[in-house]
Structure 1
Amino acid sequence: MAALPNLTVVGGESGLPLYPIPTGMVLEQNFFMKFRHRDWMKSEFRNLASREVRAVALDLFCVAYDEDPAGTLPANEELLARLVDVPLDDWRGLCARKISPLDGWQRCVTDAGVMRLFHPLMVGMATDATKSRADYLEKKEADRERKRMEALPDQIRRAGASSRMAEDQDYLVRLDQYLLEHFPPPTQRRPKVVKQAMEALDALDRGALRGM
């Protein structure tokens, strides 16, 4: 099989491709797996493999989705047999068939230097899923920031500051950052906490002016 564009061959004697998704990138919070069922139904593997092999192959895809790195499998037959809940002797029998559950799976090296197995189909699925998850987390963080900044002016007023301070956008950004660093969640931004942060920020500003 030709080398995939995003799987560069690492140096050394192994000559194995470097898996593109880093270690630690898992998809356990994803409650569904995007699967191109039409490609699967039309594939040569699906149409030529036995029902037992097809069933185990689908389990391997599902297992790989939650492995670390996402989309890979351990390169160990005993672990693989356990992951798909097949007795080792039965697993060896399936793998000895002309078309086995591991057809299409190849060895690779992770960024941590561990040898794993990857499948071109899983590379695409896992890459799409990690991108979608990153976009989701970025949007979630942006929503949290927006809500914090919307609530902060009123919190400043309740802490006893003037409306002028509450409307100063530069000051809001600096105060929000100070609160995140020194009073991170789950600390609630009650008037006492916000006032303490404002006083500390004011002391820092006065100290900076004296040092000029």
Structure 2
Amino acid sequence: MMDHQTSDADHRAERGQGMHVDEDFWVYPLQWGQTIADQDWFPLYFHRLLGSDFVAEACAAGSAGRAAGFTAFLLWCEAVKQDPGGTLPDNDVALARLAGFGADLAAWREVREAALYGWSPCHVDGDDGRRDRRLGHRTVADFALFAWNRKHGRQMGREAAKLSQVKWKVKKQMEAMKRPARLVGDDMLITQVANWLIRGGMAVSQENVASALAAAGVPSVVPMRRDGSEA
């Protein structure tokens, strides 16, 4: 996942991919509420990491540099659990806690610069127009955006599968209730009933289906003409 070498060309490319520079700040690709805290892994591109300036400088600094490198790794992991995913608070008290220093701000500040290699202030937007400052890392942001899109895609897939299953059960119940074939075959109505049941967390019973049909404006008894056809 982590590659701390980011060229000017990479930065220019990122401006066209949702992460653009606004003076000293850049806009983070995820908004408030877009979290990936349920992810328990991230890809480690070790060839890129081992060849990065970050590792070279950490190794050259001896034991202090290696300690800062481990602290940086802890912060990468903690960033995955933040809101939005992949960011860090721009606050030394919070950063010290996340990095494992607790209330020892002096110890944190000794490694702060090296541990935050590649991190810079960024804007985080919200649906309500809110814009706040966080710390972001462009390589971490790439992973966070990928993880969010994958998570959102899986969620949509699960929701679609659940809706399909509930729709099938609704149709079976409507057939058992002797509802007219035109209603059983009305996919828009079936979808409306299924969504009503899902939102209410209700079982697909005949009683609940009848309530959902009533909520959709479908009468419980279909009036018939004298010749036996539906009115």
Question: What band does the TM-score fall into relative to the shorter chain?
Answer: 0.7 to 0.9
Alpha-carbon deviations, 1:52-71, whole Å to 9, x = none? Answer: 01100101111111111111
The structural deviation recorded for 1:114 is 1.2
Give the corresponding residue for 2:120.
Answer: 106
2:154 matched to 1:136?
yes
Greater Cα shift, 130-139 or 194-203: 194-203
Q: Percent identity?
A: 22
Residues 121 and 134 of structure 2 are in contact (CA less than 8 Å); yes or no, is this contact kept in structure 1? yes
Q: Taking structure 1 as the reference length, what is the TM-score of the superposition?
A: 0.81
* 3-state SS in 1 of match to 2:28: coil
The structural deviation recorded for 1:7 is 2.0
Rounded Cα–Cα distance in structure 1 between residues aligned with 2:112 and 2:27: 25
2:63 matched to 1:54?
no
How many corresponding residue pairs? 196
The structural deviation recorded for 1:165 is 4.3
The structural deviation recorded for 1:179 is 4.6
Residues 30 and 183 of structure 1: is their aligned pair in 2 closer, same or farther, counting only changes over 3 Å? Answer: closer
Give the corresponding residue for 2:191.
Answer: 176
The structural deviation recorded for 1:153 is 1.9
CA RMSD of aligned residues (A): 2.4
2:39 matched to 1:30?
yes
The structural deviation recorded for 1:190 is 0.6
Runs of 4+ displaced beyond 6 Å: none
User: How do residues 133-212 of structure 1 correspond to structure 2 at under 5 angstroms?
Assistant: 133-162=151-180, 164-165=181-182, 167-168=184-185, 171-181=186-196, 184-200=199-215, 201-203=217-219
The structural deviation recorded for 1:102 is 0.9
The structural deviation recorded for 1:15 is 4.4
| Structure 2 runs not aligned, ≥5 long | 1-6, 59-64, 223-231
Greater Cα shift, 100-109 or 42-51: 42-51
Of 22, 30, 41, the match for 1:21: 30
The structural deviation recorded for 1:22 is 0.6
Rounded Cα–Cα distance in structure 2 between residues aligned with 1:160 and 1:176: 19
Alpha-carbon deviations, 1:94-127, whole Å to 9, x = none? Answer: 136xxx1111111111113211111111111101
